[in-house]
Structures are given as structure tokens and as C-alpha cells.
């Protein structure tokens, strides 16, 4: 069976508190960045593992300039980080919370698209 048939659930770490206005605004800005399908695709690809611009371009099907621009926005927002390996720039997700958020959003979409029953 493929991972698509039985994907591993993301690890959820709950922080117990009532969010204040700044935290709600910060979370809202993350959702705004996730609202673009290309950026969401790039984040999903990076949730699977680190990659450079060429790999992300090939996997996403987006134009290289678009991928670079989206990565710049994600980098400025602090959602991805990068390191240089010679001339190659390798991107990765900054933290596991973002990975969980991306995976849960896509799992939610999968349920909506396939009609698979909802679960906790």
C-alpha cells in the first residue's frame, strides 16, 4: 500500500494558552501565505524534505522565476530557511508546526474532495 492510502498523521504539539491579538495576527499572516496554491505546493514539497530551486521548479511545474519569488516571500515571512552549498541554495521548512499545518490543510482538502469520512 502507498503512503497516500495510509499517510502518517502529523505530530501535533499543543501549546495551552489563549491566543492574544498579536498571536492571532501572526497566525492569520501564515494563512494568508498559505492561500496561494503555488506557495502551498512549495511548502508541501519542502514538508517532504529539503530541495533547491531547480528541484522545486521541476516538481511544482511553476516557472523558475515564480518559484524564486514565492520562496523569497516565504523566507521573508520566516516560514522557510536556506543554506548554501556552493552555488546551490537548499530550502527547508523552518519548523514542524508549519509542516503539520500544511499537511493538515491538505488532508482536510483531501477529505472534501474525496468524500472520505471526517475524523479527529
Q: Give residue-wise pLDDT tens across range 53-99.
A: 999 999 999 999 999 999 999 999 999 999 999 999 999 999 999 99
Give the pLDDT confidence score for residue 63 in this predicted structure: 98
H or E element, residue 84 = strand 80-85
Give the pLDDT confidence score for residue 12 in this predicted structure: 59
pLDDT over threshold 60, residue 4:
no
Domain span including residue 69: 36-114
- Structural domain includes residue 79: yes
What value does the mean pLDDT of the chain take? 90
- Structural domain includes residue 25: no
Domain with residue 63: its CATH number is 1.10.10.10
- Structural domain includes residue 76: yes
- Structural domain includes residue 16: no
Give the pLDDT confidence score for residue 29 in this predicted structure: 96
- Structural domain includes residue 71: yes
- Structural domain includes residue 19: no
State residue 89 phi and psi, 5-degree precision.
-110, 120
Mean pLDDT of 41-49: 97
- Structural domain includes residue 13: no
- Structural domain includes residue 80: yes
Distance, CA of 79 to CA of 33 (rounded, Å): 9
* 10 vs 105, residue with greater confidence: 105
Q: How many structural domains does the chain have?
A: 1
CB within 8 A of 78, min separation 6: which ones?
94
Give the pLDDT confidence score for residue 64 in this predicted structure: 98
Give the pLDDT confidence score for residue 1 in this predicted structure: 36
pLDDT over threshold 70, residue 10:
no
Global confidence as pTM: 0.83
Amino acid at each position: 500500500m502507498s503512503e497516500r492510502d495510509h499517510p502518517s498523521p502529523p505530530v501535533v504539539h499543543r501549546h495551552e494558552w489563549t491566543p492574544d491579538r498579536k498571536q492571532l495576527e501572526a497566525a492569520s499572516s501564515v494563512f494568508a501565505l498559505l492561500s496561494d496554491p503555488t506557495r502551498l505546493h512549495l511548502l508541501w514539497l519542502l514538508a517532504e524534505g529539503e530541495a533547491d530551486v531547480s528541484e522545486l521548479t521541476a516538481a511544482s511545474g511553476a516557472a523558475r522565476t515564480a518559484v524564486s519569488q514565492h520562496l523569497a516571500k516565504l523566507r521573508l515571512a520566516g516560514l522557510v530557511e536556506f543554506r548554501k552549498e556552493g552555488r546551490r541554495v537548499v530550502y527547508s521548512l523552518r519548523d514542524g508546526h508549519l509542516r503539520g499545518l500544511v499537511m493538515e490543510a491538505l488532508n482536510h482538502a483531501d477529505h472534501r474532495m474525496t468524500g472520505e469520512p471526517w475524523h479527529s
